[in-house]
Structure 1
Amino acid sequence: MKPDFLIIGAMKSGTSTLAHYLRQHPEIYMPDGEVHFFYEEGKGRWQRGIQWYERQFEEALPDQIVGEKTPTYSYLPDTAQRIHDVLPEVKLIWIFRDPIDRAYSNYWHAVRSGIEPLGFAEAVQREGERDIWKGYVRRGQYAEQVGRYLDYFDREQMHFSLFEDLKTEPQAVLKELFQFLGVDPGYSNQLNQRARKNVTKIPRSTTFRYLTKSVVNEIPVLRSLAFRLDQRFNRRSEPGYPDMDDGVQRHLENHFQPYNEQLQEKTGLDLTAWA
């Protein structure tokens, strides 16, 4: 069995919450987690083959439509053609977030994971010389990503929504999405609103977290000690992210403005709230 729809992006834009809602609909089946099929890099599983991919949906009932969520699909350049080759009629679901907020959230997620030793300003400045997985800014250039998919898919196969609307008006967003997928839109009124949240807990020191997670973690005899030290001394007591530097904020506003204008043209979304 092959999927009828894919949630393809964008990372740190509410895709986990969106999938949580869709899994509640009795006419929809989605496997847990992310499948990561249409690419090889990092977590990619393309080499496992189409039969492996189809087995991920074996538990679906005969009267259910099936889908999966992997936001990396929107970001990597070769996935659009691969998806079209395998699933030419698939429906594609996009959800976008203010790209500055998305970049900052993505950065702190990487810090928490222990894979980011740099401060945010330096990470942004040096992004062009770093590997593709640390593309905090590039991931928010949504118009480029949509453009790649429009080279292979009709606009009618795509559904666009905003993270900000999902937070404030989830029923309205989901009703439109259910209509797009061809399932009962009335079920949007019965969803459990206590959606799973993908919360990032922030360390005090990015360098200390990087050392304990990415360096010391490779030394088994020190792994447990490093973890305890990090948990005890490197956890911020206050919630949320620290304020972004004003200069970096202005730089990103100028950088993303033309991309946001292009996205608005391609999708018809009202992006004035990002201005």
Structure 2
Amino acid sequence: MRGSRYATQLKPFLDSFPRENFQFILYDELKDDPQTTLQVVLQFLELENTQRRFEQVQSNPAAMPRSMNLQRWLRRQSTWREWLKPLIPIKIRYRMKEKLLQMNLRESSYPPINPKTATALREQLASEVRQLQDIIQRDLTRWLP
């Protein structure tokens, strides 16, 4: 929950630096109109706009392990893996482990949030959202219960 308290996290910075040193971008804005969002950021940073293109890359797609046993085995220490350490250089071991972890994943989607949980979270974070709304001077009523 602490990570969802954006206003609380921003306050120490806002207490230390002038408000005009901040530009707040909402994820939905970036997702819905990345090119305009890029222009806003460039303008805020006073960087020249030389027709830069924003390329969207999905860097952390939702995935589930095909085999939980393999996943656990790859993530923990094991005696025979310790025995292999002197035989296989660390870079190769790392690449092998990463490749096996990647091969063990299958694309998935996040399960939808339970409506009761969503309502409870919105209620718990309502005062935080109102504070954030004041800080960033944006309408966040869609985040409220």
SS at match of 1:203: strand
Q: 1:246 corresponds to which residue?
A: 115
Q: Does 1:274 align with 2:143?
A: yes
TM-score (norm 2): 0.70
Q: Where do 1:1-275 residues align within 5 Å? A: 137-184=1-48, 186-187=49-50, 190-203=51-64, 208=69, 211-215=72-76, 218-219=77-78, 221=80, 231-232=103-104, 235-236=105-106, 239-275=108-144
Pick closer, same or farther for the CA change 1:197–1:230 going to 2, 3 Å: closer
CA RMSD in angstroms, aligned pairs only: 3.2
Q: Distance in 2 between matches of 1:204 and 1:220?
A: 23
Shift in Å, 1:193: 3.5
Q: Is contact 2:65-2:71 (8 Å) kept? A: no
SS at match of 2:24: strand
Identity %: 25
Q: Is contact 1:141-1:256 (8 Å) kept? A: yes
Larger Rg: 2
* Equivalent residues, number: 130
SS at match of 1:161: coil
**How big is each residue's C-alpha offset from its partner over 1:224-270, in whole Å with a ceiling of 9 and x where there is no partner?**
79x859945xx445x32122233322221112221111001011022
Letter in 2 for 1:191: R
Letter in 2 for 1:143: A
| Structure holding more helix per residue | 2
SS at match of 2:16: coil
Q: Distance in 2 between matches of 1:181 and 1:258?
A: 31
Please say which of residues 168-177 and 253-262 is displaced more in the overlay. Answer: 168-177
Q: Is contact 2:74-2:101 (8 Å) kept? A: no
Shift in Å, 1:144: 0.4
Letter in 1 for 2:80: V
Pick closer, same or farther for the CA change 1:142–1:207 going to 2, 3 Å: farther
Q: Which runs of 5 or more residues in structure 1 are unaligned? A: 1-136
Pick closer, same or farther for the CA change 1:193–1:174 going to 2, 3 Å: closer
TM-score (norm 1): 0.40
Q: Distance in 2 between matches of 1:147 and 1:208?
A: 44
Shift in Å, 1:204: 5.2
| Structure holding more strand per residue | 1
Q: Is contact 2:7-2:135 (8 Å) kept? A: yes
Q: Distance in 2 between matches of 1:138 and 1:205?
A: 31
